[in-house]
Structure formats: C-alpha cells, structure tokens
Amino acid sequence: MTGSAGTGQLTSLAFRRDRVMLPACVWGIVAVLAITARDLKVLYPTPAMRLAVATSAGENPALRFLLGRLNGTSVGAFLAARWGVWGSAAAVLLTIFIVVRHTRADEEAGRLELVGSAAVGRQAPLIAALLTAVTANMAISLLTCLWLPALKLPLAGSAALALSIAGCGLAFAGVAAVGAQLATTARGARGIAIGALGAAFVVRAVGDTGPAGLSWLSWASPLGWVESTRAFGSSGERWWVLALPLAASAVLVAAAFALAAGRDHSASAVLRLRTEETGNLAEPVLATATGRIRWAISHISVAVGGACLLLATAGLSAGLSYGTLTGSVSTQVPRLLGAAAARLPATMALAAVALLLFGLLPWESAGLAWSAMALAGVIAVFGPPLQWPAWTMDISPFTQTPKLPGGTAPAEPLLWLCGITLALAAAGLAGLQHRDIGDFGPSRLSCLVRDWAVGDPSKTTTRPRPAAERDTAQPPGTTDPDTPAQPPHQAHRTG
C-alpha cells in the first residue's frame, strides 16, 4: 500500500463534510469583492475624482498600512488596493481552517486513528486536506475572473488579482500544513498559521509605510506579493510575481510531508513530551534502553529542525523575490538568509524555556510555554511602534538579535543568547532526569499561588494526590496496603 492510498475517498469525504461551509465562504468572498467593485464605480465615476482620492491616499500612511499601495487611478486599481490584502487574508483564513480541520483536528479527535487502521496511506489525510484547500482557492480565482469582467473591468487585471489572491491562499496552505505537524492541538496549529498571517500583514505594512530602506519587507510577505502583482496597474501587471507564492507553497508542503513522515499521529515538538507523559505513553518507552535525555532530545530535534526550515524558507523567499526585483539575486539571497539565521538563537531560546518548564513545572509547562511565545510576539509587534520602555522590550529574546539586514551583526548578543539557551536546556533536562514521570497535578508552587490569589494561603500545605491514586482508591475496610484508602463520602460508589 502506497502512502497516498485512499486519497480520493478522503477528499470526497472532506467535500461532503464541508458541503455547506465551503460554498458559502467561497461565494461570500467573491461576492464582497464584486460588490466593492460595483460601489467603487458608483462612488468615483470620473478620472478626476479618482485622481483626487489617489493623491490623498498616497499621502496617508495609515491607509497604506491598512490597505497597501495604490498602483493606479482606475476603478480596478482602487479595487486591488481596497480588497487585495484583505481579500487575500479572507482566502488565507478559509485555507487555514480547511487544512487544520482535516489534519490536526481529525487527529486530535481520534478520527485519523480509525482511518489509519483501514486501507489508507499515511500521507492520504494531508493530501486530501491540501486538495480541498487548493480547490477552494481555485474556485475563488475562477469566480473572480468571471465576475469582474462582467462588471466591465479589464480581463487581464481581473485575472492578475484573482490569481494573486489564490496564490496567497496556496502559500498559507503550506504554512497550515507545517503548523499541523508541529502543533500538539488543532488550536495550536491554527494559532501558528494565523500568527504567520498576522506577521505577514505587519511585515507588508512596515514595508509599505516605512522609510525607503525598509521597502524590501513587502517582498518578504505573501500579502506583499499580492500588491506587487500590480493588478490593474497603470504600468501593467507583473505576471512573474505569481511564481513566488507557488514556490513558497511547494517548499512548505514538502516540509510538511517531511515532518509528517518523521512523527506519529499524537503530537510533536517540545510539548509533545508532556502529551506522552500525561497519556501514559512515556513509561513504556523509558522502560526500554531509551533514557530520559535521549527521549527528550529526540523530540527537541523536531522543534529545532522545524524552526531552521521555516527561517530558511523565509530568508530564501525574501532573497529570491527582492533579488529578482533589484537584479542582484546572488547578493540578496545569502544576505537575507543570513538575516533569517540571526533569528535562530532567539527561537531556540523560547524552545529552551519550554524545556525548562517541562523539566521543573510539568503540569504548568504547556500554558506557561505558550504564554512566553505569545508575550514575545506581542512585544515584537506592538513594542516598537508604541515605543515601549527598554526593559519591556528586553524581555523578548528577539530584541537581542542584530537588526538585519541593514545593520551590523555583533557576535556578542548571539553568543549570550546561545549560552542562555544551553543553560536553560541543561536545567530543564536535569529537572526531567530527577523528577517523577506521570500526571501529578499542579506543583506546590502553583497551589500556593492559587490559594494566595483567593486569599487563604494557609490551606495548601501539600499537592493534590495524583490522578492515578484518585482513580484507584479502595473502599473503606479494605486492608490492602498497596491501595490507598477511599474517602468516606465516596464509599457508596460502586461499579
């Protein structure tokens, strides 16, 4: 049996499950686009009115931040500026929910385990999810190509806008597929993909509104590729830009299949360790010759490899796109790959924080690790424009990385980050080596903090009993010394 066996049946099942949601979302996205085009023709019927609006919008950085650049004064150019970025974002969100719904969400619910027990290949669910997402994006593109010319807009511009929106959706299909392999839950996979969408929006917005030296950032974002296609542009469309999202999608999808081939259907990355521990999957592994350190490192390597792959993809895509634009691919590709690699120590520092929490505070590790990553993201997005204090900015490890490209690359902060990462990882592994394995509930520290928060810290002197002990308590009167006694108020429970 091949890895793709059963793909047709799973794809049909996906379409049947989404038979209401999928057409409604596709038609909704296209309808809003068409209504916007009609309204723009009514609101700005003359070239003079559109020129006045274009002049005003070009001087407004807030509009460029939210909508992007305006590449002409025609109704089509206004439509591309008004709907290009946000229409792409809508297509991306639909794509993310499709891919995660038919991969990680099904896996989390146990449906993939049932499917996998039949004559279905290991890669079939991911292939079926991607085919469903591709079909949705192609439907958006086709309907847009048919509807806009019906509103008397040029066919070439309509096709360029439609294909650029679909291409952006395909690029994020790859992002969602990678997120589904790295995250431990469907919510986590959606969070990774939507976080990538938010980052793409911010990068594109900074490139559109920042100084001339930062304009290259627009080429590092899939949303920037949509406006760089210049649909309905006064100087003509850039058809070659449509190759960028296809290339990014191909690389990311290949990475997703590579990650899927190297993991089982339970979870991945650092927090996969906690899932195995609470699911009673760790003890059988540790009962063999595999030690705790090797067990942990085998999962950490997935997180490290995934981070390296994503950073390399971002650097390569930005280098190729910006290098093609400036005619200096051989210079820009290594330059932007190096800029992406400079972020790796900060990324590994967050992974080390997760490992430290898993080793010392296992019950709280998942929540605190996600909180640390969310805090770093909030600081990166809102800190610079709001001019937060330096001590607040220094909380994020990404603040310590060199400002590349365009700045200097001192080795000292990178060495400090690497040293801190190694120290945190070593402390986490040492904690894992010396603590008990299993679900023992909240730590004593968490209990003290909880009771302090409710105003009675004297109540918590010991941790709650492990779930395993609570589930195997004996009824009163039993004299088995190996079984804990059951509380009197539970004595009536039988069977």
Whether residue 35 has pLDDT greater than 70: yes
Whether residue 494 has pLDDT greater than 50: no
As a whole number, the mean pLDDT across the chain is: 76
Whether residue 165 has pLDDT greater than 90: yes
Name the pLDDT band for 69 (thresholds 50, 70, 90).
confident
Instruction: Report which listed range, 113-117, 150-154, 444-448, 461-465, is most confident.
Output: 150-154
Instruction: Report which listed range, 21-30, 110-119, 201-210, is most confident.
Output: 21-30
Whether residue 338 has pLDDT greater than 70: yes
pLDDT of residue 283: 60
> Which of 306, 162, 329, 456 lies closest to 170 in space, CA to CA?
162
- Considering the domain boundaries, does residue 56 fall inside one? yes
Same domain, 11 and 94: yes
Report d(CA 184, CA 108) in Å as an integer.
8
> Are 169 and 247 in contact, with CB atoms under 8 Å apart?
no
pLDDT tens, residue by residue, 93-117: 999 999 988 887 877 666 655 555 5
Q: At a CB cut-off of 8 Å and minimum separation 6, what does 447 contact?
A: 460, 463, 464
Same domain, 199 and 118: yes
Calculate the alpha carbon distances from 482 to 59, 66, 469, 472, 474 in Å.
Answer: 78, 66, 11, 10, 10
Same domain, 196 and 307: no
Q: Which domain holds residue 296?
A: 269-439
pLDDT tens, residue by residue, 466-489: 444 444 444 444 444 444 454 444
Same domain, 2 and 118: yes
pLDDT of residue 258: 74
Greater model confidence, 277 or 360 = 360
Same domain, 348 and 335: yes
Question: Which tokens in the block code for residue 146?
Answer: 């048919």
Same domain, 183 and 198: yes
> Which of 92, 87, 94, 332 lies closest to 220 in space, CA to CA?
332
Same domain, 298 and 184: no
Same domain, 48 and 188: yes
Question: Which tokens in the block code for residue 362?
Answer: 């296992």
Question: Which tokens in the block code for residue 139?
Answer: 């439907």
Whose tokens are 């009993």? That residue is 465
Same domain, 176 and 292: no
Same domain, 449 and 430: no
- Considering the domain boundaries, does residue 197 fall inside one? yes
> Which of 319, 316, 341 lies closest to 328 in space, CA to CA?
319
- Considering the domain boundaries, does residue 337 fall inside one? yes
- Number of domains composing the chain: 3
Report d(CA 231, CA 228) in Å as an integer.
8
Instruction: Report which listed range, 59-63, 203-207, 286-290, 370-374, is most confident.
Output: 203-207
Q: What is the pTM of this model?
A: 0.55
> Are 140 and 214 in contact, with CB atoms under 8 Å apart?
no
> Are 143 and 176 in contact, with CB atoms under 8 Å apart?
no
Same domain, 310 and 211: no
pLDDT tens, residue by residue, 302-313: 777 777 877 787
Neighbours of 495 (CB within 10 A): 2
Same domain, 364 and 452: no
- Considering the domain boundaries, does residue 327 fall inside one? yes
Residue 474 has what DSSP assignment? B
- Considering the domain boundaries, does residue 208 fall inside one? yes
- Considering the domain boundaries, does residue 262 fall inside one? no
- Considering the domain boundaries, does residue 490 fall inside one? no
Name the pLDDT band for 166 (thresholds 50, 70, 90).
very high
Neighbours of 151 (CB within 10 A): 16
pLDDT tens, residue by residue, 374-407: 777 677 766 775 677 888 888 888 888 877 776 6
- Considering the domain boundaries, does residue 384 fall inside one? yes
